[in-house]
Structure 1
Amino acid sequence: MDARIECTILMIATRFREPLALPVLAVQAGLSPFHLHRLFKSETGETPAAYLSRIRLAHAAHLMVVLPDAPLVQIALESGFTSAATFARAFRQHFGETASDYRRRRQLAVNGASSTPALSVHRLPARRLRVQRCALEEDALSAAYNALRRRCTEARRTAVGVFVDAPFHQHRAGCRHYLGLESDSTDHDAHALELPGGLYARVPVSGDLDALSREILRFKSEQLDPSAYAIASTLAFEQVELPHDAPFDYRASQRWLFIKVRRKHEPAL
């Protein structure tokens, strides 16, 4: 894919809450609005406006599942829509049902057990990392992490895989996922993605993507639901220690998953 379109897609993925008109995207890509519109549609099959709307709707649908106590109007505004009415029309047109019906049908089971298992919760600072997009497919992940491994220094061999969408209630091909090295921090870069600061639960994971999805759901039901914490964001990331000499194999790797959480008495958004 054209590097200018990759930058535009990353900008939309990370700044979709903002009023991203075509001229704003064009300046970032270094193209005229006309040429960006034409090249974007040629590369993706969608116009920039249609792609932005789809990303906003996917984010809203994701929030409705992982944040069941968040009001729909808050979800609409947090996802970049200017009003509840605009969101309701766009959602029904795209998904073929109301947002309320979608949420009811996709509701995740909640564990109401009285025990409070210990969570590994950490307060992390905000960071901006230079990233690259990577498909959620095991062979693609292994190849991309191996490419990062060859760029590592001896002292810093930690990489992160950022899930903008959690891969357990929608098709993985539609999930936005990015890889980067922890040492590649940046303040000004068209390929930068911000990991927000705050509280994160740390969960050990291993195996393929199906195992990862099962572990996320098990963690939510068995550890998070009975605790004093709840999911705070659609964003999560894997921390990966890359080997010095041997090739990296995603399926065989041991990793840490960091899920952004909030205390339950705090607002969902």
Structure 2
Amino acid sequence: MNDSLFRREYTARFNRVLDHIDHHLAEELRLETLAGLALFSPFHFHRLFLAWQGETLADYIRRRRLEIAGMRLVMQADKPVLTIALDCGFGSGESFARAFRQQFGCSPSAWRKEGYAAQRKSRHGNSKFGQVDRKLDQDIAAGYGDDGGMTAAPSLQRFEETIMSFDRYAISIETLTSVRIAYLRRTGPYGGPGIWELWQRFNQWCGAHGLHGGRAMYGISLDDPTITAPEQCRYDAAVAVDADFTVGGEAAVRELPGGRYALYEFFGLPEECGDMWMTLFREWLPDSGFQLDDRPCFEIYLPRHGFEAETRRFGCQIAIPVRPL
């Protein structure tokens, strides 16, 4: 095993830890459990985590609890602040309020009232919400084979479908089943060459593992860049795999959650796709009778969408997790 493979093994182990933390924020996150997931000694785990992540384990858990709470305050407007605090692992409303103000410079109530985009703008100068929050802005032909043809195919099963028209938007509200995916992850700003490089590497990985042809592919944004610092945002390039598929090294396998999603058919330039995400959030969602759920947003790449190499225009299905207001 060379140095590159060693590093990929470390990446896969720590990704398991980070995913576990996100799914168990309300619980006590014991050192022994997290170290066991990474197959490292508990005695050395704190030092290893700090060296790999660039922040202590305690600081990372605190940050993720606050970031998830910040999203839920806006997305789940019907939930009391205290309930969100407890669901994110805080012992009391007072401790949550203190930590939240320290992290974001305002109270949870003010954050909910004014919206986290406005709060982020006040904290980070004139950064524009629409420029920062390009959920899955791909300066790429994501998921396409060497011949320019899409390598993806539908995998998530649709149980119900309702077409809803809002002015010029035709949105289908569908219930999707969960799907098992294999993925490679990148940490860094959404958009730009980093995402393109990840997809190039991922397509090579898929080819080496016989995963091209007839499989759905996904671009998954795991963080909200209006809350999480750009350099800490996580993005997964993923492909649907069978139940018995196993991987090693840097790649990992997990479930992409099912549930109700608002689906929008997109075809255009990468920068236009980022703008469309924000348009749907700003113009469609407030009138839709739905609110955002806290499952990740993603894009689905299907054969019918196509890709124009000469123009860089591509198609995808924008998938927004929703639940009724």
Residue matched to 1:146: 200
Q: Deviations over 1:179-230 (max 9, x none)?
A: 211226569889344322211011234433x544432221133322222322
1:75, 1:186 → 2: CA distance?
36
Structure 2 counterpart of 1:18, from 12, 16, 27: 27
Q: 1:156 to 1:79 in 2, by over 3 A?
A: farther
Counterpart residue type for residue 197 of structure 2: A
Kindly indicate whether residue 222 of structure 2 is the aligned counterpart of residue 160 of structure 1.
Answer: no
Q: 1:193 to 1:62 in 2, by over 3 A?
A: farther
Kindly indicate whether residue 204 of structure 2 is the aligned counterpart of residue 204 of structure 1.
Answer: no
TM-score (norm 1): 0.79
Residue matched to 1:174: 232
1:90, 1:188 → 2: CA distance?
40
Residue matched to 2:125: none
Q: For structure 1, list consecutive stretches of 5 or more residues without a partner in the other structure.
A: 110-114, 265-269
Runs of 4+ in 1 over 6 A off after TM superposition: 186-190, 246-249
Moved more, 26-35 or 153-162: 153-162
Q: 1:186 to 1:48 in 2, by over 3 A?
A: farther
1:37, 1:108 → 2: CA distance?
33
Q: How many residues align?
A: 255
What percent of counterpart residues are identical? 29
Secondary structure of 2:287's aligned partner: coil
Q: CA deviation at 1:58?
A: 0.9
Structure 2 counterpart of 1:122, from 174, 179, 182: 174
Kindly indicate whether residue 85 of structure 2 is the aligned counterpart of residue 76 of structure 1.
Answer: yes
Q: CA deviation at 1:14?
A: 3.9
Kindly indicate whether residue 102 of structure 2 is the aligned counterpart of residue 40 of structure 1.
Answer: no
Residue matched to 1:267: none
Q: CA deviation at 1:154?
A: 4.6
RMSD of aligned Cα (Å)? 3.3
Kindly indicate whether residue 7 of structure 2 is the aligned counterpart of residue 7 of structure 1.
Answer: no
Q: CA deviation at 1:252?
A: 4.1
Counterpart residue type for residue 64 of structure 2: I
Structure 2 counterpart of 1:106, from 115, 118, 123: 115
Secondary structure of 2:263's aligned partner: strand
1:196, 1:24 → 2: CA distance?
23
Asked whether the 8 Å contact 1:200–1:259 carries over to 2, the reply is yes
Q: For structure 2, list consecutive stretches of 5 or more residues without a partner in the other structure.
A: 1-6, 119-163
1:234, 1:97 → 2: CA distance?
25
1:146, 1:247 → 2: CA distance?
17
Residue matched to 2:100: 91
Asked whether the 8 Å contact 1:149–1:242 carries over to 2, the reply is no
Residue matched to 2:322: 261
Asked whether the 8 Å contact 2:70–2:116 carries over to 1, the reply is no
Q: CA deviation at 1:108?
A: 6.6
